[in-house]
Amino acid sequence: MKGDLEPRPIFVRTPEHVTTHLLICMIALILLRIIQKRIISSGKVAVDPDAYWSTGLNGHRIQQVLLKWKVDLLPGELYRFMDVDDPDLKLILDSFDINIPAQLYQQSELKSIKTGIKIFI
C-alpha cells in the first residue's frame, strides 16, 4: 500500500508537517481498506483467501478509478458524472448501494444524491 499512497518523498521539514503528512496517508489507507472491505462484504466478488488484500479491487485500481471520476459542468448549469460506466467504479458504487444513472443533473439533484448516500449504515 505504501507504493500507492506515496508517502515519500516528504517535502516538509517541521515535525508538525511530517506528522500531518503521515496522518493524511494513514487516513487514505483506512479509506482504501473501507472500500475494499465493502466490496468483499457486498458479495459481488469471489473472495480469494490467499489474496485477501487484493480481492475485488487492489489499492492501485481503487486509486486510479477514483482519480478519474469527476463531475463535469455543462452549459446551462447542468452536470454529468464522468466514467459511471467504468466497471471498477461501478463495483465500488454498487458495493455502497449508490446508483447514479448516466444522465444530466441540476445542482439541486446533485445535493439530493449527496444527502441520500448512507456510507456507514
Q: What is the pLDDT of residues 101-118, one digit of tens each?
A: 888 999 888 888 888 887
Q: What is the mean pLDDT of residues 59-64?
A: 88
Is pLDDT above 50 for 2? Answer: no
The single-letter code of the amino acid at 5 is L
pLDDT band at 1 (very low <50, low <70, confident <90, very high): very low
Q: Which residue has the cell 443533473?
A: 105
The single-letter code of the amino acid at 116 is G
Looking at per-residue pLDDT, the higher value among 9 and 25 belongs to 25
**Class of residue 70 by CB neighbours under 10 A (exposed 0-12, middle 13-18, buried 19+):** exposed
Q: What is the pLDDT of residues 76-98, one digit of tens each?
A: 999 999 888 899 999 999 998 88
Residue 72, classed as helix, strand or coil, is: strand
All structural domains of the chain with their residue ranges: 2-116
